[in-house]
Amino acid sequence: MDPGNKRARFDKPENWTSSINGKSVMDNWNASLNGKSIMPYNMAAVRGPIPNGPMHQRPLIALLDGRDCSVEMPILKDVATVAFCDAQSTQEIHEKVLNEAVGALMWHTITLNKEDLEKFKSLRVIVRIGSGHDNIDAKAAGELGIAVCNVPGYGVEEVADSTMCLILNLYRRTYWLANMVREGKKINGPEQLREAAQGSARIRGDTLGIVGLGRVGTAVALRAKIFGFNVIFYDPYLTDGIEKALGITRVYTLQDLLFQSDCVTLHCNLNEHNHHLINDYTIKQMRPGAFLINTARGGLVDELALAAALKEGRIRAAALDVHESEPFSMANSVLKDCPNLICTPHSAFYSDQSVSELREMAAGEIRRAIIGRIPESLRNCVNKEYFQSSKQISFL
């Protein structure tokens, strides 16, 4: 197979010695698509014989926008064939996957709108490897009989720790001071130090405003209190009383939070109601010289409005781990000439431990779909309200 062919990337184990129907598995590599051999990721292309019944083809599960299936294979190898596509769009997904895949795993680098979803002829479940699922049209998927799932409980500590890291960098200007030293700039005397560190601020006594008090927002609140922040939050979906348990203050409008906060950090999902939650209008409601952090979803912030606010000094500094367009390129962004800005590549969730746990949980959800019924067997189906009950299925 041409390794440069992005439309049909399947992997094959090195020392494959098992057999199917009396033939070596190597003899079963002869299936082809458009003249190119197909290499399933798993150890057997078909299910073994069922008593008093015919052979059953294994369901095909595709990792749409990645190529490493090493964590998923031990969980799925006995019930499915797993293939990877390493695609950036549905145009790069092989026709076999579009026609035959009944399940899909996907990260955040590919988008599936209604038109994209309609290209899949057999798809019944999509598991987003992560918590946010705004890159999937869940309503359209449900109406097409495709369940959409996410993994909401992973990486809470990592995102909260990353958020605090960014907050500390903005307050103490560590990122910029370290770059000065790396670039060879010498600080001689208090005047030069004052010039280099101008904008540094004391944390204790400042007010941190948290938009969205879910798992991550709560973890950030607990960490921020230790540093001496006065913590307030806005979350219209929570019942009263959580603020008492956490020892923080609740406000009931976004405007109140923005007006009271020295630093605003976003920890809410992205939906049709809060796209560009931070825009030119809401930025003007923030305290002059406030800080802004976003480790949630890129579409929450109007980057054009943020760029103007940074250049005008209305926002003292900002840190973004997520962006309106991803993969993010500073060179092609409206933010490229902005001062006092830290951008990271959607990495706040990452640690070796968290990603392993995340992938295991995503593969487990796919497994439940294969051996159970959709959507009843799924733990984190986000589009049940749109799912047509008449299209409930089981794979086995």
Mean pLDDT of the region 258-276? 96
Q: Does 168 or 189 have the greater pLDDT score?
A: 168
All residues at 6 or more sequence positions from 150 whose CB lies less than 8 Å from its CB, including other chains: 127, 128, 130, 131, 132, 133, 380, 382
Mean pLDDT of the region 381-391? 76
Query: Which class for 47: exposed (0-12), middle (13-18), buried (19 or more C-beta within 10 A)?
Result: middle
Q: Does 10 or 376 have the greater pLDDT score?
A: 376
Contact between 76 and 82 (Cβ < 8 Å): yes
pLDDT at 311: 98
pLDDT at 42: 36
User: In this predicted model, what pLDDT tens digit does every residue of 305-353 receive, in sequence order?
Assistant: 999 999 999 999 999 999 999 989 999 999 999 999 999 999 999 999 9
Taking the C-alpha atoms of residue 276 and residue 270, their distance in angstroms, rounded to an integer, is 9
User: In this predicted model, what pLDDT tens digit does every residue of 63-90 receive, in sequence order?
Assistant: 999 999 999 999 999 999 999 999 989 9
| Sign, Cα dihedral of 83, 352, 155, 335 | negative
Please give the C-alpha separations between residue 310 and each of 36, 96, 289, 317, 342, in angstroms, as whole numbers: 52, 48, 9, 7, 12
* Average pLDDT taken over every residue of the chain: 86
pLDDT at 35 over 60: no
pLDDT confidence of 58, banded at 50, 70, 90?
confident
pLDDT confidence of 32, banded at 50, 70, 90?
very low
pLDDT at 132: 86
Point out the residues that are catalytic.
Answer: 297, 326, 346
Q: Parallel, antiparallel, or unpaired: how do β-strands 263-266 and 249-250 relate?
A: unpaired
Mean pLDDT of the region 44-70? 64
pLDDT confidence of 387, banded at 50, 70, 90?
confident
pLDDT at 47: 25
Mean pLDDT of the region 211-239? 98
Mean pLDDT of the region 295-311? 98
pLDDT at 34 over 80: no
% of the chain exceeding 70 in pLDDT = 84
Please give the C-alpha separations between residue 337 and each of 176, 183, 379, in angstroms, as whole numbers: 15, 19, 44
Q: Does 108 or 17 have the greater pLDDT score?
A: 108
Give the least confident one: 39-48, 52-61, 238-247, 262-271: 39-48
Q: Does 301 or 11 have the greater pLDDT score?
A: 301
C-alpha atoms less than 13 angstroms from C-alpha of 103 in its C-beta half-sphere: 33
Give the least confident one: 50-59, 87-96, 164-173, 221-230: 50-59
pLDDT at 388: 60
User: In this predicted model, what pLDDT tens digit does every residue of 91-149 receive, in sequence order?
Assistant: 999 999 999 999 999 998 899 999 999 999 999 999 999 988 999 999 999 999 999 99
Buried b (16+ CB within 10 A) or exposed e, 300-330: bbbbebbbbbbeeebbbbbbbbbbbeeebee
Q: Any bridge partners for residue 233, and if so which?
A: 210, 250
pLDDT at 13 over 80: no
Nearest-CA neighbor of 45 among 59, 63, 62? Answer: 59
Of the chain, the end-to-end C-alpha distance in Å amounts to 32
Q: What are phi and psi of 285, to 5 degrees?
A: -85, -10
Instruction: Please name each of the domains of the chain with its CATH number.
Output: 19-154+354-391 (3.40.50.720), 156-343 (3.40.50.720)
